[in-house]
Amino acid sequence: MRKFRLYFEEQHRSPLAQLWREFARQHSALFGLALFSSFLLLSLVAPFITPHDPYLQADNLLLLPPSWSEQGLVQYPFGTDDLGRDLLSRLLKGTTFTFGLALVTVIGALLAGLALGALAGMSQGMKSSFFNHLLDLILTIPSLLLAIIIVAVLGPGLANTAWAVSLALLPQFVHGIRNAINEQLKKDYVTAYRLDGANNWQVLTRLIIPNIWEKIIVMSSMALSTAILDIAALGFLSLGAQAPIPEWGAMISDSLDLIYLAPASVAIPGLLIFAAVLSVNLVGDGLKTAMQRRRES
């Protein structure tokens, strides 16, 4: 039975509900979200669900093939490496070191970039000119090359990799947030709010940030895919995670000489890196398309 209404009231969806409706219409975006959620969940619970100790070596199980092979064992679904360590356990643990660490570095770069980008966007005169020229200079250097330079100064290691990737992504966030703020400052509602007596802090927190959070999310999703590739690349170059840490890029580097004897030890980490980057890009593209359709509707 329909609910009785004394008067007609038009129902409007909230901005988040409209965004989700447009996002859910894209099958590729939903697939990317499911894949992204799986990697996020695995990065959190991986230390608790590994079937074997990822660092335990077994001399009698060297280079064991995957379980679908005739020589494989069910207890080791993806086989073992050249030291007899379970590949499945190391891959699960590597989710934390590659995907989880990339997420942490992006969050750190985002927070620092938001503060510096707001300072650059709200400032004028000499400070604004200094930020503009400095960012233009740094952005000419690719993020991976910048991360390699920083690691060369700090030294190899997983902690230094996190700092290097975070610092390499920082200029992108500062540049993007500064441009978004400058674009918002030209809007009429900002001028009207200033005429009401609002100061720069009130304009920034009450008007500008709520109107650029969508761009920040899309920017963060693209930076996350870059962070995953950079962390894996540094591990592959032996500048990032050091043995015996099971980071995906380092696992590929360690098993590269055994690609003909144990191709799964190289192919599976590579496929996981590809799937992680694909999931982030699908979610980012889906969000960008959903926001564009929401504005048009």
pLDDT in tens, 5-51: 555 455 566 777 888 888 889 999 999 999 999 999 999 999 899 99
Q: How confident is the model at residue 119 (pLDDT cuts 50, 70, 90)?
A: confident
Q: What is the mean pLDDT of residues 41-66?
A: 90
**What tens digit of pLDDT does each residue of 215-260 get?**
898 899 989 999 999 999 999 998 988 888 999 999 999 988 888 8
What's the Cα-to-Cα distance from 274 to each of 35, 56, 269, rounded to whole Å?
12, 27, 9
Both tokens of 158, joined, read 């997983």
Q: What is the mean pLDDT of residues 262-270?
A: 91
Is residue 24 within 8 Å of 61, Cβ to Cβ? Answer: no
How much of the chain exceeds pLDDT 70, in percent? 93
Q: What is the pLDDT of residue 47?
A: 87
CA dihedral 265, 100, 215, 174 (to 10 degrees): -100
Is residue 93 within 8 Å of 151, Cβ to Cβ? Answer: no
Is residue 271 within 8 Å of 39, Cβ to Cβ? Answer: no
Q: What is the pLDDT of residue 134?
A: 73
Residue with tokens 């980008």: 117
Decide if domain 42-49+76-296 falls under CATH 1.10.3720.10.
Answer: yes
What's the Cα-to-Cα distance from 194 to each of 62, 123, 205, 211, rounded to whole Å?
70, 15, 13, 16
Domain range summary for the chain, segments of one domain joined by +: 42-49+76-296
Is residue 60 within 8 Å of 84, Cβ to Cβ? Answer: yes
Backbone angles phi, psi at 239, to 5 degrees: -100, -15
Q: What is the pLDDT of residue 128?
A: 66
Residue with tokens 């990339």: 102
Question: Which letter does DSSP use for residue 196 in this model?
Answer: T
Q: How confident is the model at residue 267 (pLDDT cuts 50, 70, 90)?
A: very high
Rounded distance, CA 34 to CA 19, Å?
Answer: 17
pTM of the model: 0.90
